[in-house]
Amino acid sequence: MVGGGVRDLLAGVKPKDFDIATNARPEQIRQLFRGCRLVGRRFMIAHVRMGAEIVEVTTFRGPITDSHERDDTGRILSDNIYGTLEDDALRRDFTLNALYYDIRDYSIVDFTGGVEDLRSKTIRLIGDPELRYREDPVRMLRAIRIGNKLHFRLDPAAVAPLKTLAPLLGEIPPARLFDEVLKLLLNPEAVENFRAMYWFNLWRELFPDNAAALDAGGDDVRGFIEGALANTAERMRQGQPVSPSFLFASLLWPCVRERAAELKTKQGHPEFIAITQAGDEFFARQSQRIAVPKRFSFPAREIWQLQPRFERRRGGAPQKFLTHPRFRAAYDFLLLRAAHGEPVQELADWWTQAQAGQPPPVPEGGDPPLPARKRKRRRRRGSGGGGQQAPQSQD
């Protein structure tokens, strides 16, 4: 066993999973286990299914040579060159992640000083930090996540290149960054991770529109973002479910809100249409940096689109809205908006009481008008001629 599972056990943290390192080649691993699938282009990994779990099994990597394919920034593009156990240890990112548990004699194998760094609570890269970050820029994000998870300090040499090398995250495939961002933000230390990423300019590379909103909106936008992350962290501590959809709805809302207000003012769009268009624009832009799957981006859009519906409180509209499958997420989002300065506190209080079966009177002024809907064209039956129908319009 190797990596985070061994590191966490030694640090007194419950491991999330375990990884295996072996001298067997990927093709040999696949022959040994029926439930095995080989994944990865840059470095091939065997996913071995054991019941409901998937165990990652990797072959010992060899030392860096001139035969390794790199891009112009130094990032390794192909790494399927194999070596010994010691070679593999020296190729890993941090000393804490290069600790191996040998099941033959129940010993810890340490080639890089990871045990000593564990005792001193230090996150240290193996080798030259700038070179190691250039080989795989995602290591900059992992340094922050592991440091905050274990409450360890980053070695000064690991900190020094971060701001300079932050733009290298632009070279990472958006789908891979999605996985790394979820690990950072769907996390009990989400607020601390956000603050560190913002300080080291990593946040700007991941969420450029949100970073621009933070620059323009200052403490109000920062409070909203940190409030959303703090809510997520608290839910995780209590063992409650958390949703990437709510997370991305929160992160992009400051941008969507400003753009929707602009569309309402300058182009006269109804609020629902303005929010929908603004949401589509910003998700399209965000997907160029982080590829958010549709199963998360669509519910996030719906959370935004449901916000105007909270203003409809007369007749049977409230009862119908309470049964909407996305009501709870939209309501939680309304509470988040109210808690961080948006003028919706009265709406939030009304709907809180409505859920308890005691909705207060609706203030004077009436509900806002519904957006106009297109009427469906009815087919006209042909007159005579054996009941033939008239030709239909193509529009």
pLDDT tens for each residue of 236-251: 999 898 999 999 999 9
Distance from CA of residue 14 to its chain's centroid?
22
Please report which confidence band the pLDDT of residue 363 belongs to, taking 50, 70 and 90 as the band edges. confident
Distance CA 307, CA 305 (A): 6
Q: What is the mean pLDDT of residues 337-342?
A: 94
Task: Report the share of the chain in percent with pLDDT over 90.
Answer: 73
Given a cut of 90, whether residue 181 has pLDDT beyond it is yes
103-126 residue pLDDT tens: 889 999 999 999 999 999 999 999
66 is catalytic: no
Given a cut of 90, whether residue 18 has pLDDT beyond it is no
Please give the pLDDT value at position 379.
63
Please give the pLDDT value at position 159.
97
Please give the pLDDT value at position 394.
43
Residue 340 in 3-state DSSP?
Answer: coil
Given a cut of 60, whether residue 294 has pLDDT beyond it is yes
Contacts 24+ apart (CB under 8 A), 13-20: 13/149, 13/150, 17/53, 17/55, 17/56, 18/55, 19/55, 19/56, 19/57, 19/58, 20/55, 20/56, 20/57, 20/58
The residue written with tokens 């300080």 in the block is 199
Distance CA 236, CA 191 (A): 13
* Active-site hit among 19, 87, 110, 332: 19
Residue 107 pairs in a beta bridge with 102
**Where are the alpha helices (H) located in 151-243, listed in sequence order?**
156-159, 162-165, 174-185, 190-199, 202-206, 208-217, 219-237
Given a cut of 90, whether residue 358 has pLDDT beyond it is no
Given a cut of 50, whether residue 59 has pLDDT beyond it is yes
Please give the pLDDT value at position 357.
85
Residue 10 in 3-state DSSP?
Answer: helix
Q: What is the mean pLDDT of residues 73-82?
A: 66
Residue 221 in 3-state DSSP?
Answer: helix
117 is catalytic: no
What secondary structure letter does DSSP report for 32? H
Residue 37 in 3-state DSSP?
Answer: strand
Distance CA 40, CA 214 (A): 36
Residue 85's closest CA among 67, 112, 65?
A: 112
19 is catalytic: yes
How many residues are present in the chain? 395
Please give the pLDDT value at position 219.
84
Higher pLDDT, 172 or 371: 172
Please give the pLDDT value at position 386.
45
297-329 residue pLDDT tens: 999 999 999 999 999 998 899 999 999 999 999
Lowest mean pLDDT among 4-18, 71-85, 212-226, 342-356: 71-85
* Active-site hit among 8, 79, 88, 93: 93
Residue 94's closest CA among 117, 63, 78?
A: 117
* Active-site hit among 17, 128, 179, 349: 17
Please give the pLDDT value at position 65.
61
What secondary structure letter does DSSP report for 274? H
Higher pLDDT, 382 or 15: 15
Please report which confidence band the pLDDT of residue 382 belongs to, taking 50, 70 and 90 as the band edges. low
